[in-house]
Amino acid sequence: MDARKELSYDVTDQVLARRQVEQLNQALEGRVQERTTDLPLLEAAAHLLYHPLHPNP
C-alpha cells in the first residue's frame, strides 16, 4: 500500500499546461498561415518599392 502512495501524484497542472501549450500552438499556426497568405502581396509591394530606385537588379 505504501508503494501506491509513492506512485500517485496530481497531474492537473500538467494537463492544464499541456492544454495551454496546445492553444498557443494553434494560435501561432494561425498567425503563420496568415503571414504565409500575405507573403506574395508583401513581396510584390517590396518589388515595386525597390525597383524604381534600382532599375538594374
Query: Taking the complete model, does pTM exceed 0.85, yes or no?
Result: no
pLDDT, one tens digit per residue, over 19-39 is: 999 999 999 999 999 999 999
Q: What H or E segment, with its residue span, contains residue 41?
A: helix 12-50
Q: Give the integer Cα–Cα distance in Å for 57 and 50.
A: 9
At 10, the amino acid letter reads: D
Which pLDDT value is given to residue 10? 84
pLDDT, one tens digit per residue, over 2-21 is: 555 566 678 899 999 999 99
Report whether pLDDT(57) > 90: no
Which pLDDT value is given to residue 55? 58
